[in-house]
């Protein structure tokens, strides 16, 4: 039984806590932390006897906590991951690894200095059945050599317009990782364009378009609609030298009624990837029991941030941006990329 502490009990952290407590037999939630103590107490009650903390560092230091899930706001990810590494405690950190390259590199260097993998990144699309099926047929060579990745990602927006940097770092970083993972290639160049959410505010982003060139010459396109007004969707289409393939549609059935055919679109990522989050938790806990890390690594989180940073630089300059070609450390050689 792995005893786990969860930092952040909002939509994402609360979902992780409940999945661990009720759908992961080998896990026990023993501590939760949130600045909203009422919300934290509510999640703790749902999970059984869990200690409620108001400070993340206190939760990490708790001897009863053997592993940590970091589901705090993005700016705290790097700091809390570093604290877990310093304490020698495994962590599942939600994406992004950090909100800037400097902090992401600090985490990478800290884990390398420790000499073993302790951190997994929350790129849960690797645990999504539709994405897994696409990965398997691509690895089998069913559609030949991959020539292009096309990712479409939509959301319903927030009360306030998002900046282009936020859309890249918080949302498109998922698609960046998916492209690297599926094609088993690093990105060599990016070019960013976007449509403003407000015409008088050039920093705002309604729709993001990122064009990519991979190291082997394959192409990539990421479309991120931050305010679709129709729901949450993630679709990937791969074009290969011998065919093409696309992720299966969302799990909702196709309905034919009153001379109409339609399919309900998910309201948010928690619904769309509900099953993926459960499987992510189970596989992560099993990897802790076996002592064999298996999921997305700090290197994956770091390289996703390297690409994201190049996307931001391209947005600022209006020009294509080369992505630094870093050598993958040997400690992360077990994964394909």
Cβ atoms 99, 309 nearer than 8 A: no
CATH numbers and ranges of domains, the chain: 2-124+280-290 (3.40.50.720), 125-272+298-332 (3.30.360.10)
Cα–Cα distances in Å, from 242 out to 138, 186, 235? 11, 22, 21
Could you give the count of Cα atoms lying within 13 Å of 119 in the half-sphere of its Cβ? 32
Cα–Cα distances in Å, from 330 out to 13, 112, 115, 146, 183? 32, 10, 10, 26, 20
Task: Report the 3 state secondary structure along 219-275.
Answer: EEEEEEECECCCCEEEEEEEEECCEEEECCCCCCCEEEECCEEEECCECCHHHHCHH
pLDDT digits (tens, 9 = 90+) for 123-164: 999 999 999 999 999 999 999 999 999 999 999 877 889 999
Please give the pLDDT value at position 169. 97
Give buried/exposed letters for 75-88 (b at 16+ CB in 10 A, else e). ebbbbbbbbbbeee
Is omega for the bond preceding 327 within 30 degrees of 0, making it cis? no
Please give the pLDDT value at position 335. 58
Give buried/exposed letters for 265-300 (b at 16+ CB in 10 A, else e). bbeebeebbeebbbbbbbbbbebbeeeebebbbbbb
Please give the pLDDT value at position 266. 82
Place of tokens 């690797």: 126
Please give the pLDDT value at position 334. 61
Percent above pLDDT 90 for the chain:
86
pLDDT beneath 50, residues of the chain = 336-337
249 closest CA partner among 262, 230, 259: 262
CA 106 to chain centre: 19
Helix or strand (DSSP H, E) at 316: helix 298-317
Q: What are phi and psi of 6, to 5 degrees?
A: -115, 120
Gap between the Cα atoms of 124 and 131, Å rounded = 10
Cβ atoms 206, 197 nearer than 8 A: yes
pLDDT digits (tens, 9 = 90+) for 15-68: 999 999 999 999 999 999 999 999 999 999 999 989 999 999 999 999 999 999
Q: Report the SS3 class of residue 203.
A: coil
Task: Report the 3 state secondary structure along 94-129.
Answer: CCCCCCCHHHHHHHHHHHHHHCCCCEEECCHHHHCH
Cβ atoms 152, 208 nearer than 8 A: no
Could you give the count of Cα atoms lying within 13 Å of 42 in the half-sphere of its Cβ? 12
Please give the pLDDT value at position 270. 78
The 10 Å Cβ neighbour count of residue 115 is 7
Please give the pLDDT value at position 175. 97
Please give the pLDDT value at position 337. 45
């Amino acid at each position: 039984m792995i005893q786990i502490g969860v930092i952040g009990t909002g939509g994402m952290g609360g979902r992780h806590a409940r999945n661990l407590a009720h759908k992961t037999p080998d896990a026990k939630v023993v501590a939760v932390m949130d600045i909203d103590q009422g919300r934290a107490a509510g999640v703790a009650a749902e999970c059984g006897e869990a200690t409620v903390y108001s400070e993340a560092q206190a939760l990490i230091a708790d001897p009863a906590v053997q592993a940590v899930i970091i589901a705090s706001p993005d700016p705290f990810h790097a700091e809390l991951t570093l604290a877990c590494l310093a304490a020698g405690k495994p962590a599942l950190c939600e994406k992004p690894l950090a909100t800037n390259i400097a902090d992401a590199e600090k985490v990478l260097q800290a884990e390398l200095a420790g000499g073993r993998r302790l951190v997994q990144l929350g790129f849960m699309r690797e645990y999504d059945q539709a994405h897994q099926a696409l990965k398997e047929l691509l690895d089998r060579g069913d559609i030949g050599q991959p020539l292009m990745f096309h990712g479409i990602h939509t959301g319903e927006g927030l009360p306030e317009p998002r900046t282009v940097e936020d859309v890249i770092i918080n949302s498109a970083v998922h698609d960046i990782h998916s492209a690297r993972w599926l094609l088993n290639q690093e990105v060599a160049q990016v070019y960013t364009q976007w449509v403003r959410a407000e015409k008088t505010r050039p920093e705002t982003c309604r729709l993001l378009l990122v064009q990519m060139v991979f190291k082997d010459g394959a192409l990539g396109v990421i479309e991120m609609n931050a305010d679709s007004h129709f729901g949450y969707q993630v679709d990937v289409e791969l074009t290969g030298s011998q065919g093409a393939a696309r992720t299966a549609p969302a799990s909702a059935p196709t309905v034919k009624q009153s001379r109409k055919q339609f399919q309900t679109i998910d309201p948010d990522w928690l619904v769309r990837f509900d099953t993926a989050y459960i499987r992510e938790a189970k596989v992560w806990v099993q990897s802790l029991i076996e002592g064999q890390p298996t999921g997305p690594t700090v290197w994956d989180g770091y390289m996703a941030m390297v690409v994201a940073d190049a996307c931001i630089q391209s947005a600022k300059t209006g020009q294509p941006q080369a992505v630094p070609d870093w050598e993958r450390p040997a400690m992360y050689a077990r994964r394909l990329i």
